[in-house]
Amino acid sequence: FQKAAEELNDLRGLMTKLQSLSEQLDPLEAAYADVRFYDVDVEQTQQQYENLISSMNSELHDENILNESAQQLARELEYLNGKLSIEPVIHEQLEEMLNHQLPSLQAQLQFLQTRDDEAKRTRIHVDRLSQPAIETLTEQLNHICLLVKQQLDNLAKAESQEK
């Protein structure tokens, strides 16, 4: 980026020198016309450069937001997975996970998947590299859903055997 900006500055400096020379050659219209065309080219190049940098910055910003969202979702999934595997979880906690926490995480994951697909389809300059991968998050969420359902089934069986 910096090299391109320096080269554009060099072009602008050269443009200033050419304008000065064309003014010194005032009766020669050809020199003045050539400098005007060159000036337009320099302005267009500058505008294209600014548009490109803006587009790249926008795509990089979007990539950072998507990766931060994926990492946050991964942390939440790790927390639930740890809670399920370490602590004895009571029936109400499992119901809370199944009916409230997991659907919320599924909605977040679906939104993330949609944004991921859109980024892959529309980006021009920045490749989409989800860290962690959306597929991995989906597998983790499915695993947690299965664990919660299994533990609920186990609790229901234990309760029915006690009766």
| Domains of the chain by residue range | 2-162
pLDDT score recorded for residue 159? 84
Tell me the three-class secondary structure of 43-80, residue by residue.
Answer: HHHHHHHHHHHHHHHHHHHHHHHHHHHHHHHHHHHHHH
pLDDT score recorded for residue 73? 96
**By three-state DSSP, how is residue 89 classified?**
coil
In whole angstroms, what is the distance from residue 41 CA to residue 113 CA?
Answer: 42
pLDDT score recorded for residue 19? 85
Kindly give, in sequence order, each residue whose CB lies less than 8 Å from that of residue 76, ignoring residues fewer than 6 positions away. 105
Topology of domain 2-162 in CATH is Methane Monooxygenase Hydroxylase; Chain G, domain 1 (1.20.58)
Max Cα distance, the chain (Å) = 109
Q: Which residues of the chain are modeled with pLDDT < 70?
A: none
pLDDT score recorded for residue 85? 84
Q: Which of 150, 145, 48, 155 is nearest to 92 (CA)?
A: 155
